Amino acid sequence: MALESIRADHVPRQEATIERIERQTARVKSYFLRPQNWRAFRAGQHLDVILTAPDGYEAQRSYSVASEPELEGLYELVVERLEGGEVSAFFHDVAEAGDAIGIRGPFGGHFVWSGQDGGPLLLLGGGSGVAPLMSILRHRAAIGSEIPTILLYSARTWDDVIFREELLARDAAGGNFTLLLNLSRDTARRPQDASRRIDAQMLADTLARFGAAPRLTFVCGSNAFVGNVTDRLLDLGLNPQTIRTERFGG
């Protein structure tokens, strides 16, 4: 998921090799990068990716890390093909396993979660905004945490659900994790899911599952998605200091 970030130029740039590529959906792939010097990170952080053309032109974008901090040596980035996106076009049309790219980071100190931060956790993702939320979920599982956690994930269709099989498996495994899918342009496949955009009633019903306000809420997606969801959460009485947001797009 591409997003805007505050640059930290004091962090040295380095080279990373694309170790493997996995297709997630028709428009989304995961890229597993092995950097020269792996740096530990917190779930929810992101990397700057720097592509350099033969003539010296550089394009830079930021992508959330979807892998858990415990997967040492690799960073998994989720890249969605965007119309007119020069960096996403490179990844989807040119990049192959074995290619080297420039990276810097990881960065980010606000949209992060560790076990000591506690819960309950409410995670809300739109489209490729699920990437940093996957890092949080995977980290939660890696440390054996069973704090109550709900992921409300919005996608256009069933086939657009990124990490679908992994998320369904985690939901089936229990451990105080609940997956709720809402498909804005498709029919829900499970009784607990919905076939509409996230609205105030859906958020109210989701919050009611906790019995009390979540300790932390993470919202990630497009500008429009984050703005709409956050406004509705505030209307429902959530403390703004407990809501952390990450957004992408113009």
Tell me the C-alpha distance between 133 and 208, whole Å. Answer: 21
State residue 8's pLDDT score: 53
State residue 84's pLDDT score: 76
Query: Taking residues 226-237, what's their average pLDDT?
Result: 96
- Quick one: CA torsion of 75, 57, 84, 11, rounded to 10 degrees? 30
Q: What is the separation, in whole angstroms, between the first and last Cα of the chain?
A: 14
Confidence tier at 6 by pLDDT (50, 70, 90): very low
Per residue in 209-227, pLDDT (tens digit) is 998 899 999 999 999 999 9
Write down the residue that tokens 């489209």 correspond to. 127
Per residue in 7-24, pLDDT (tens digit) is 455 778 999 999 999 999
Q: Is the pLDDT of residue 61 over 60?
A: yes
Q: Domain 115-248 falls in which CATH fold?
A: Rossmann fold (3.40.50)
Instruction: Please report, for the chain, the start and end positions of each structural domain, with discontinuous segments joined by +.
Output: 2-107, 115-248
State residue 4's pLDDT score: 38
Q: Is the pLDDT of residue 3 over 50?
A: no
28-32, 68-72, 85-89, 214-218: segment of lowest average pLDDT: 85-89
Domain 2-107 CATH assignment equals 3.40.50.300: no
% of the chain exceeding 70 in pLDDT: 96
Q: Is the pLDDT of residue 57 over 90?
A: no
Q: Residues with Cβ < 8 Å from 168, sequence gap 6 or more? A: 179
Query: Taking residues 63-69, what's their average pLDDT?
Result: 97
State residue 39's pLDDT score: 95
Per residue in 167-189, pLDDT (tens digit) is 999 999 989 999 999 999 999 99
Question: Per the confidence metrics, is the pTM higher than 0.95?
Answer: no
Per residue in 97-150, pLDDT (tens digit) is 999 999 999 999 999 999 999 999 999 999 999 999 999 999 999 999 999 999
Q: How far is CA 53 from CA 26, 60, 87, 90, 101, in A?
A: 27, 12, 11, 11, 11
